[in-house]
Amino acid sequence: MFVRRIAVVGTGYVGLTTGACLASLGHRVVCADVDVVKVARLRAGQVDILEPGLTELVGEGQAAGRLRFTHDLTDAVADAEVVFLCLPTPMGAGGAADLSAVESVARDLRRVLPYGTVVVCKSTVPVGTSQRVAALLGREDVAVVSNPEFLREGSAVRDFLHPDRIVVGSDSPQAAERVAALFAKLGAPTVLMDAASAEMVKYAANCFLAMKLSYVNAVAELCELVGADVSSVTDGMGYDRRIGQSFLQPGPGWGGSCLPKDTHAMVRIAESVGVDFALVKATIDTNHRQQRRVVDKVRDAVGGTLAGARVGILGLAFKAGTNDLRDSPALAVAELLAFEGAELVAYDPEIREPLVGMTVVDDAYSAVRDADAVVLLTEWPEFRTLDWARVAGLMNGVLVLDTRNHLDDDALHRAGLLREGLGRRL
């Protein structure tokens, strides 16, 4: 394998995972970030994001001299053969992706990139961004490649080292081959294509995943009304290899830093070429409807009005295994509950910061104390093993709304509690 000199710009969960994993494959990697405090912490081996295996890889890479951190972009790229852009592309005006970070770094790189470098866009960017980056770089000798990431938060290292596929797109086949070779050791199927197609793959995949979830949430609602059980239904569906078993778990709606932003961006991309992408719009609407449905269920549980009702919330992160609150469906549900006057007490094993509209407490039992109803919104394993008799003794009401179908019916029943899941006969 060729050992390459690589720079990674941006040390969020994508950039840091990319840098640390490429170093673990033997490459020499320098990661750059404008946040000097973060850089100092990373140099000391301190990783602030919750990603299993990442702290270890950061430590090992630095100890082996293959991984270095700097806040100086010029220093980072000084002898780089390949530069990865792993910058945030948040939802901007009207739902389109905000490319200002990518564009500003591309401008800065123009003067400092060594001759013949390949620049790789790993951030999720609308179709045409690679071309735009190439124009901002304005360098004939520098090729731009799109290499979208498919990392899930909470399993990013695993997903990087054991990918289902690697997508590399460029209008320069030579540059694409060079980037694909960096991952050769992983032995994953590698799909080479043009840059626009690679950029589209990411949006098409994330929107499909969101659509799958909205679909299953809508099926869950029907199951409740026709007397079917969604777990049996998805089990029966999932054996069809064209559908697959995964990503079929109903919940309080999908969230996180990716699916909401990418679905909105896809709608804007379609509009920009005169297409009304009704299917993706319906996917987004169904997601909001799901959050409102959860609120309706809590309202019913407390006797028809939320004003003055005390609701215990279990879980705030957008999914278990992360400490990320960005676009968390739990927060969206909490906001709707608070808007109707509910008094909220919440517990999440990874969230301690104070939040508007609720009291955040340090343990599950404090969250359920005097609650008229309890709603589980994130599927943390520790919620399965709560002492339900103790919970029942602390609660004022008896209903536990389990929006992740995560809890053991019998355990709650034995404690005298009423568990309501999603997608089962009412």
State which of residues 24, 89, 231, 249 lies at the interface with ligand UGA (CB under 6 A): 249
Rounded CA-CA distance 259/222 in Å is: 24
For ligand UGA, the closer CB: 153 or 343: 153
Residue 206 touches ligand UGA, criterion: CB under 6 A: yes
Q: Least Å distance between CB 74 and ligand UGA?
A: 28
The one-letter amino acid code at 422 reads L
Catalytic residue among 31, 121, 223, 258: 258
Binding residues with ligand UGA: total (CB under 6 A): 21
For 202, which DSSP code?
H
What is the DSSP track for 44-95? TT---S--TTHHHHHHHHHHTTSEEEES-HHHHHTT-SEEEE-----B-GGG
- List the interface residues with ligand UGA, window 157-186 (CB under 6 A): none
Residue 383 touches ligand UGA, criterion: CB under 6 A: no
For ligand UGA, the closer CB: 260 or 397: 260
What is the DSSP track for 83-139? EEE-----B-GGG-B--HHHHHHHHHHHHHPPTT-EEEE-S---TTHHHHHHHHHT-
Stretch that binds ligand UGA, among 71-79, 126-134, 137-145, 205-213 (CB under 6 A): 205-213
Q: Least Å distance between CB 404 and ligand UGA?
A: 8
Q: Least Å distance between CB 173 and ligand UGA?
A: 25
Tokens of 159: 């997903």
- List the interface residues with ligand UGA, window 263-322 (CB under 6 A): 318-319
Active site residue 223: no
For 142, which DSSP code?
-
Spell out the residues 6+ positions from residue 197 whose beta carbon is closer than 8 angstroms to its own.
169
Residue 248 touches ligand UGA, criterion: CB under 6 A: yes
What would the 3-class secondary structure string for 235-302 be? HHHHCCCCCCCCCCCCCCCCCCCCHHHHHHHHHHHHHHCCCCCHHHHHHHHHHHHHHHHHHHHHHHHC
State which of residues 47, 105, 167, 209 lies at the interface with ligand UGA (CB under 6 A): 209
Beta strand 359-360 with 399-402 is unpaired
Stretch that binds ligand UGA, among 125-133, 148-156, 184-192, 302-310 (CB under 6 A): 148-156
Residue 89 touches ligand UGA, criterion: CB under 6 A: no
Q: Least Å distance between CB 152 and ligand UGA?
A: 4
Q: Across the chain, how many H-helices and E-strands are there?
A: 16, 14
| Cβ neighbourhood burial of 352 (10 Å; 0-12, 13-18, 19+) | exposed
Q: What's the longest Cα–Cα distance across the chain?
A: 72
For ligand UGA, the closer CB: 150 or 277: 150
Question: Contact letters (x/-) for ligand UGA, 100-139, by CB under 6 A?
Answer: ------------------------x---------------
Residues catalogued as catalytic? 258
| Site residues, ligand UGA (CB under 6 A) | 124, 149-153, 206, 209, 213, 247-249, 251, 254-256, 258-259, 318-319, 329
